[in-house]
Structure 1
Amino acid sequence: MNLDDIMELAAAYTPSALDRARSRRALERLLSEYVEGGDRPGEADVPDPDEAARIKRAAESAGAGWVMWDAERHELTWSAAMARMFGHIPATAVDEARLTEGVLGPDRAGVRSEIERAWRRRVPVEFTFRLQRLDGRLHYVRCLVELLTPDGVTPTGLIATAHDVTRQELERQEQHRTRRRARIGRDRLPGHDPVSAFLGRDRFVDEVDRAARGGAGALLVVAVEPTRDLTAEQSRQVTRAVAGTLEHVLPADGRRGVMGPAEFGFLVPDRARALSLMADLQDRLGLTTVSGVRLRAWAGVVPFAPGDRVSGRELMLDASAAWRESRRGRTALTATPRPRTAPERRTAIEADVGGVLRAGRLRLYAQPILDLALNAVTRHEILLRTTDGRNQSESPASFLAAAELGEDIVAVDRWVVDRSLELIAQAGPGSHFQVNVSGRTVSRPGLAAHVLEALTRHRVDPRAVTFEITESTAVDNLTAAAEFAAAVRRRGCELALDDFGTGCSTLSLLKYLPIDLVKIDGDFVGRLGDSAFDRIAVQAIVDMCRSLGVRTAAERVEDPATVDLLRGMGVDFAQGYAIGHPHPMTSSAAPSRLDRATG
């Protein structure tokens, strides 16, 4: 709005009697302050013995209330409109206590200060306060307090005129809220893989689930493997190369996702289309090399129809099992006629998880965690990895997804606890490790006894261990979880909540369990510098946890700028590739060696 717009609005506005009275008094005040000597125009020259009466008439004609204080008589009077504004009948007498009681408690000191300023400095003051009526209803009131000087010199009291501005104030607050929300904006749905730009695993699960519930189609999962081990950068190059190849093969509107390192999923119309795509993909990948490394691919395809009643997660498990069958049989593609039934899937998962445990194909890695106050690595999180038949490390995502579908995760967690404590015992004093246990395992009886026995058997200092509850939405027995928490805390261990902020259950666990550390989900951290929403959310979590005496850690910290932001927000710990990559834990991996290895 420019000056011409303002002038146009002013010309179109018709002032009320109260507005004209206020303008006259403002002119008189300006003239008294800034004009020394000389003639003053109009009624500003003339004392106004009926000043109070004129202000009252103007207020009443404008539908406003008034209250007046006579300094000589120490007397308060008010209008019928003001009495009704406070919730009283018009004939009610007014005193200071009655006025004070009407002002909402938090606003009373400010109202008194403004009135005292008007009297002390001999100036009118205007302010808004919240009025609580006798019936409990809250109103916003705009008040102008003016000095009464009938002779133009000596003040004899004060008069305040008041308007109910509740509607205008609520509109102003709503406009402020919508402007603030517009500035913050909405972030895109999470889950895009930064290397391939495909959907991430969790988001792709949603897409598969929606497709399975909405009609027929097929899920194709392709796993790409190099012919030898790769560095982390070479692995990213492979992902980019495969993603580029897939862009040429798949339709532009195809739904695609990354299910794990070098594991890709695609939703296609039917099984025949999946077979055609895989044949084309095999031809192209056979000619692809990255840094001199030749690639090979295994694939599994599972068709689905409306009557199958299968979830997206179950379809992904079935398709992952199919491509692994291809690798075992050294064939390019395994195509199933339909999704597995629930009993078939259950039996297969039990066999797969049991086979991994019996074959010793689980490995533990340690990732450093930075204490932001000390700027030093003071602890590590122990992470699980699986190996393939050639003892090559691979992502545990599919393995854990299968194990967490039922009770198999309990056996996995018990192995992790026992092996972790065995390695922690060899690490020596001064180290601290965080060991993951799933919400489902925490909800089952016997975990506390297993943990306490392992602590004793391996002679581990409990103060060196934090048990980190993952997949907290799977906690289905809060009583059992509370008993586990109490038992390990009595022994001296600490407790942490993983992925905080992604589900309402984590907040209830924070309420009912003796939590020492909250790990802020990486979805709120990865774009902290770009997302106003994420910054507000992280700061709110930090402030809440500090008030509760709980420390905070941020996951997925990828760059130094994010480290600085987190430190400024008061976060206690940071974890992610900016701090260090996970490294294998072995019997000889002392903390000092881990620290040097991860930086």
Structure 2
Amino acid sequence: MNNIPVDSQPKGRKFRSLRWKISFGSSLILLAVVSLFCFVSYLGLMTNFANQQEVEYRRYSLEINSLITTTTRNLHQLAEMIPFLDGMKKALLTSDGENISHVFDAHWALLQFHNDVEFIHFYNASNQLNASWDSLDVTIDDDQLLSKWVRHVNQSEHPINPLLCRESCIQYLIAPILVGGRKVGVVAMGISLVDVFLAFKRISGADIGLLISTKDNPLSQQDIEISNWGVQISALTNKERNHDILKRVNQLYPEMHTLKDSIQLHWNNRYVQMKLFPLDSYEPGKAHLIIITDVTAAVKNIHDSIWKIALIGLLGLIFSEILLFFIFTRLLAKLRDVIFVLPLLANGQFEKFRLSLASADQKQHVRDEVDTLSEAAVSLSLQLEKLEQEVSTRTKMLIEQKNALSKERDFVQNLLDTAQAIVLTQSSEGRIMSLNTYGEMLIHYTEVELKDKSFLQTLIPEYESQDLLFRFKEIHLGERMQLRHEAITHCKDGTTRHVAWLHSHLDKQAENDPSILSVGLDVTEYKRVEGHLAWLADHDPLTNMFNRRRFSEELEQVLSRAERYQHPGALLFFDLDRFKYINDTSGHQAGDSLLKMVASMLSQTIRTDDITGRLGGDEFAIILPEINASGAIEVAKKVLSQLGQAQLTINNRTHKISASIGIALFPEHGANIHDLLAAADLAMYQAKAKGRNAWYLFSDQDRSRERIHTLVYWKEKIEYSHLHDNFVLYLQPIMHVKTKETSHYEVLLRMKDNDGSMLSPADFIPAAEHTGLIHAIDHMVLRKAITQIAHIYKNGFHATFSINLSAHAFNDPELLPILKQELVSNQMNPASLMFEITETAALEDLPGARGLMIEIKELGCGFVLDDFGVGFSSFYYLRELPVDVVKIDGSFIRNLSANSDDLILVNALCSVARGFGKRTTAEFVENAEVLALIEKLDIDYAQGYYIGKPAPATTFFQT
């Protein structure tokens, strides 16, 4: 019976599968229709997008040409105006260079500040230079080129305006000078195109860059070269982001001319469109403009549309399959007869199965899949019956093999238990399946206690890193074979161990097999040693004082704090007199003992808040925050007195201790580390010159070199920072006093200097106000702050923020429209924003301030009145201005614990503010004592270095 053949295709019976033919054919047709429709729709959308971009680029080209034309027109107007300046007509007629220089000096600053003229040269009718002025190092490499232009204008008596691009692009104007209808010479002027690029960015919203060929001119230090293209980036808006984009485009398109047709780049989940425009300069092909446009929204809209079309087609396909299923349900009813007898096959009743299947079988003229299944089941029953006999024969062999495998398993288990490492296995859900004996001993958990518990949640609860979770999923899926990381592992007894983990993927043979093998090596002792090395990086191991590097960091922080809160301070710099003599006569061991003694005496002499450091050899320094000149002198005298009372006896030789101390005050003698240390060092040498064991206070007459900051310097620095995005925003937390929760932050402006340091607004805001750049700074802060806050909200953080407004904001007609636009474009809730104004700002234009505040409050924003209490009319402003919060000036808070008068005054200010229904904030909260006092005074919020120092947003909101 086992050899009965089954004819899979009997004669006279044809096989046709209607379900597969109809369902498969209809599915293919629908898929083809949907795919064709998606393809046609995509081509149409992309064609429309390309046409729109082409129109946009033509508009960009017109805007750039218009801006350059306007710049040229302004130069022409300035040239025509020169003879009408006071005294210039007479000076030009004399053609005397010295006379022209004397007269035009009074007008040069005006042209430079208000018209951004970079240079101006006056030439006589004989092409000779009479006088010249330059604000920057603007020169032409070929000296004959400018002379050629001047000769041409003198001869033709018609002005020319060439555009020359070398390290940057300068718009020149060489024009004849006419006095009373008589030509008296030629004037040559130049203006940079930087303002043109900034104006284009402001008008179009697109980023722009200037690329200049490096073939004939050397690379400037501020420029960035793209070697494949043979160009350098002379100017670029949003430089940090766009420079990375250009480097990527340079890799993808080694030939720069391919950008003339515009290209699209997928960059950091954004889509960027860029196009190259040749700049019509004096040297053709020398300079090009590149315009970079963010087209992410348009491209994503196209993709979303195509996906919607595809989804609709997919739903149609699913509906068709469901319909076919119901149609063929009746046709497949006979399949049930086969299903009902299949359990007999599973139970080994092979003969009964074949008899039951034969009785249910009915002769049909046309065969289908059920007939084929029935015939295959009969054949399968015959094969299974044969295999069952073979299984019983092999069972004995398997039992013997099982015993051998058991012995191997016991060997592996003993090996894992003796290994000096944590060895555990995890399931595909990340739950612990086994743990070796050493692991039980180290983490004090037994294998039974950890069974089926989450590895991450139990042993590494600080695992919130989404990156770590994602990598574990990769190992489970086999996409990553190994993962190494270090983590703090929590033990059952409450202790923690620092463990270096190695996780390896295991190939699963069954569903319940382990998915990951985790091996952990205890590195706790290594980390302890590593921490000690980190301490040595900041301290002098001999004296336990700060070393030079850490002391410089502390000094920088103290200077920053002093600058913000206007606190004076002092730096004491001294070295030990005759220290080399002690080393030479008594040995280096004596010198080391002396240095330790000095360090111990200093710690007993100075105040708690003072900072000491050993800068090297026998050089020491002390930072004295919040102290004046007389106080610093008293500290210096005290140090000298303490040192004078001590003596060191080594090998029957007694050494007296003395020092020479130099004193420098900040910010009077230096607002940065370099200037202050230089001043203190100079004062220390002056003390030595007085006869040693003395102190000397630095004075301005001692200054050997001083950096002079002029309006021109700061104007150029502000414009450069605007162009290169060097303005950054810091946040300072403001704590709710009663709940001790921090959900509000003040936005503070900083400027990144060329050396990487951060400059305070006090350095550049006065210059911005004098040169008319304050409005641009207000607009930039508003846009940058709202964009950054919106980004914080999108990452799931919720807080409120205060943004400072300058005193000039109240006469700026563009401020309110910009605020409305940024709120809408960033989808910001206005209630999350507050604006801070000072009493002095409100005093300059009280009606204007009140009007702007009312309009902004109608949008939903709040207001904070800063420096409350310093003015003579504080209570009047509190009644007149629609503010929500008053910020009590830090001069009343700083010494609140030591000054009873300040306590009475602050209590009165708080009572008045509460009477008007205003919340209160205390500034300059710098210790726990002051915080406790303002809590008793029922002040709502606290701000200061004790609550939190200003820092970048990433410090408070990890995204």
Query: Which TM-score band applies after superposition, normalised by the shorter structure?
Result: 0.3 to 0.5
**RCO higher in structure (CA 8 A, sep ≥6):** 1
Using the size of structure 1 for normalisation, the TM-score is: 0.45
Larger-Rg structure: 2
Using the size of structure 2 for normalisation, the TM-score is: 0.29
